[in-house]
Amino acid sequence: MKHILSTIFLSIVVGLAAATNNLHTAGRSVQTCGDPDDTLPWYRANAPSQFEYVYSTDPAWISAIIQANGFILQTILGTVFLTQEESTVPCYFLSSSSLADNFITINATERDAAIAGGQYVLRTDFQTYIYPTEICGSIPVYRLYNSAKTSNFFTTSESERLSVISGSGYADLGIAGYVLSVGGAC
C-alpha cells in the first residue's frame, strides 16, 4: 500500500513537472524574438522617372546606384535581419530589369510564380529576414501596387501609404511583413 501511494505521488510530481515545463516552453515560444542588435537599416531608394523602388541594407550599394543610376535615397523602412533569427522568416527579393520593378515577399508561392512568369529574378544577395506577424515590437510594412506603371511600393509610413493611394494611383495590397522601427523596439 505504501509502495503504491509513493508510486502515485511520484507520478503526480512527474506529471506536474512536465505540465509546468510545457507551460514554460509555450510561454517562451510566444515571446521569442531575434536580437535587435543584429538588425541593419533597410534603405529605400527610388528612380522617379521609372517608378522603380529598391530596398537594401548595403549603404555602399545604395550609394552606387545613386551615383550611377540617378536613384534618390528616400527613407529607412525599419531594420531587418540578414540571417535568420528566432521567429523570423526569409523575405525574398524579386527584381525585374525589363519592368524596372522590384518587390519583396515572404510568400514562397508568390516568389516561385514570379520566377516562373519569366520577368522577375530572385536576388538572394538582397534577401532579409523579417517577422511574419506583429511580434517583438515590430511594425507593418505596407505593400502597394500601381498596375499602370507595374510598380510595387513598400512603406512603413501610414501617411505615405494613404498619400500614394489617393495621389499616385497605387492600390493597397495589404501587409508584406513586419520589421523593427528605426528608433529600436522592445
Ligand X SMILES: *[C@@H]1O[C@H](CO)[C@@H](O)[C@H](O)[C@H]1NC(C)=O
Under rule CB under 6 A, residue 133 binds ligand X: no
SS (H, E, C) 113-157: HHHHHCCCEECHHHCEEEECCCCCCCEEEEEEEECCCCEEEEECC
- Position among 50, 74, 75, 107 found at the interface with ligand X (CB under 6 A): 107
- Position among 35, 38, 110, 172 found at the interface with ligand X (CB under 6 A): 110
- Position among 25, 67, 109, 159 found at the interface with ligand X (CB under 6 A): 109
Which residues are within 8 A (CB) of 32 and not within 5 positions of it... i.e. 6 or more apart? 86, 87
Give the nearer residue to ligand X in terms of CB position, either 13 or 171: 171
Alpha helices (H) in the chain, listed in sequence order:
2-31, 59-69, 108-117, 158-167
Give me the 111-130 binding string for ligand X, x by CB under 6 A, dash otherwise. --x-----------------
CA separation for the pair 161, 156 (Å, rounded): 8
Minimum distance from residue 100 beta carbon to ligand X (Å): 21
Give the nearer residue to ligand X in terms of CB position, either 62 or 106: 106
**Sites of contact with ligand X (CB under 6 A):** 107, 109-110, 113
